[in-house]
Structure 1
Amino acid sequence: MTTALPTTTHAVAFFDVDETLTTVKTMFDFYDFFLEAVGHTPQEQRRLRQDARDLLRPGMPREQGNRLFYRRFAGYRYEQTEAAGRAWFAQHLRHGGFFHRDVLEALTAHQERGLATVLVSGSFPAALDPVAAHVGADVVLCTRPEIQDGVYTGDVLTTMIGDAKAQAARELLHQRDILPEECHAYGDHVSDLGLLRLVGHSVVIGDHPELLAEAGRCGWQRLAGVPA
């Protein structure tokens, strides 16, 4: 997936992914699929899934939890993981309910008006690239695990959590001299606040109390987040 905006871009719509554009946390949902795909026993799957979700426990810094999560892919080949990502997404498309319909419609409307669309997520390319290709996103700003000789090392080159989202979006706009005031952003969690505050047109997804309070103060719009 490219990290450069189209040359005709005059404004950008930024979309958080997990539980904003999609109904699931993609990195964890993909990990569940991956564990079965690579042959772990049901007992091992249950243990590893719980270990992964323990990284969301209160008190764990989100960036630290993000880095620890990707250690789980150490030793796996990039090609194997990418193939699993395509299969995981195809399964979701067959079953339905993966996207929030109202948010996906907003993304399509921005594209029809000539805006570039950018996905911003703490998830990683194996899970995000199939999503981005399906919705026609121009750029993906995400966590980038380190890969050497086609194998994940377990280290992370770039995280995309919290303030990193706003910083990455700001740098992208600066490269093309695009005014943040002309841009849009969508998010569902307080970790998206930096991104939402960066742009001139922000939309809160769902009913997070702190985000709704900020939306009321700032005059932001809200979408319910309706599963497709």
Structure 2
Amino acid sequence: MKNELRFAFFDVDDTLIHIKSMFDFYHFWCYEVWHRPQLHDDFEAAFARMFSEGRTREELNSAYYRYFTGVVPQLLDSAGSDWATDRLARPEDLFVAPVVEELQRLQGEGVIPVFVSGSFNALLEPIARTLEVPHILATNLEVGEDGLYTGNIMAPQTIGMGKALAVQGFLQHHVASPSRCYAFGDDLSDLPMLNVVGHPVAVGTGTILAERAATANWPVIATSELS
């Protein structure tokens, strides 16, 4: 038990960072890469409609990646890196300080942090390097025979129950006990992931997840931004 690997699984958007990376990036993509603001206006209108229809997070996540159908992977990677460089230039605006402090405290105790996010690697990798996070479980985009993105995503979809499946697969691969691991999330959709570890932590107060955490006697990290 002494040398057994321990992991801490972190949702990213609104848990470790103040923004929703995918939506913030799409604004950057339309304005800074394509220089076509109308693309972003159309995107926002489409997602507003889907939100009003009560679409699930899984459906919204799938819809988002269809906007990259036909894109060259290298272009998306480059744009993602540029976006992250811009956001990381102001870390005090990007990071949720109390959660980063907890991540670093656990690192000091030998617990290995892992990102678990519906976002994609081009956005997450620079943030992971900054925080010295060695593992990322995120959305993988399908590449077609022509070398371009198809608009589809690969399983498991790292949203909702998919996060739990990704974490379970990761723990099995690393032969680590879920009971000795941590998970952090801010939204009810993170609940399946939180339920598969021994040390779940809710981020933010005044949410449905925080209410569930209080009932279950889980720790809650209060942040003024998310309260």
Q: Distance in 2 between matches of 1:55 and 1:104?
A: 32
1:107 paired to 2:103: yes
Q: Distance in 1 between matches of 2:183 and 2:48?
A: 27
- 1:16-95 to 2 correspondences below 5 Å: 16-95=11-90
Q: How many equivalent pairs are there? A: 220
CA separation of 1:104 and 1:53: change in aligned 2, threshold 3 A: farther
Which residues of structure 1 form unaligned runs of 5+? 1-7
Kindly indicate whether structure 1 or structure 2 has the higher relative contact order, using CA contacts under 8 Å at least 6 residues apart: 1
Q: Distance in 2 between matches of 1:221 and 1:36?
A: 40
1:129 paired to 2:125: yes
Report the Cα offset of residue 53 of structure 1: 4.8
RMSD (Å), alpha carbons: 1.8
Contact kept in structure 2, 1:18 and 1:24, CA below 8 Å? yes
Aligned partner letter, 2:223: G
3-state DSSP of counterpart to 2:220: strand
Report the Cα offset of residue 82 of structure 1: 0.9
Contact kept in structure 1, 2:194 and 2:200, CA below 8 Å? yes
Q: Could you list the per-position Cα deviations for residues 113-172 of structure 1 after superposition, in whole angstroms to 9, with x for gaps in the alignment?
A: 111111001111121122112211121111111123542111111211101111111111
Q: Distance in 1 between matches of 2:43 and 2:189?
A: 25
TM-score by length of 1: 0.89
Match of 2:178 in 1: 180
CA separation of 1:137 and 1:54: change in aligned 2, threshold 3 A: farther
CA separation of 1:189 and 1:58: change in aligned 2, threshold 3 A: farther
Aligned partner letter, 2:198: G
3-state DSSP of counterpart to 1:122: strand
Match of 1:118 in 2: 114
Q: Distance in 2 between matches of 1:76 and 1:177?
A: 37
Query: Percent of aligned pairs with the same residue?
Result: 36
Q: Distance in 2 between matches of 1:132 and 1:226?
A: 24
Which residues of structure 2 form unaligned runs of 5+? none
Report the Cα offset of residue 9 of structure 1: 5.9
Report the Cα offset of residue 192 of structure 1: 0.5
Contact kept in structure 2, 1:118 and 1:141, CA below 8 Å? yes
Q: Distance in 1 between matches of 2:41 and 2:4?
A: 45
CA separation of 1:145 and 1:57: change in aligned 2, threshold 3 A: farther
Report the Cα offset of residue 191 of structure 1: 0.5
Q: Could you list the per-position Cα deviations for residues 40-71 of structure 1 after superposition, in whole angstroms to 9, with x for gaps in the alignment?
A: 43333322233245444452122122111101
Q: Distance in 2 between matches of 1:80 and 1:39?
A: 11
Aligned partner letter, 2:106: H
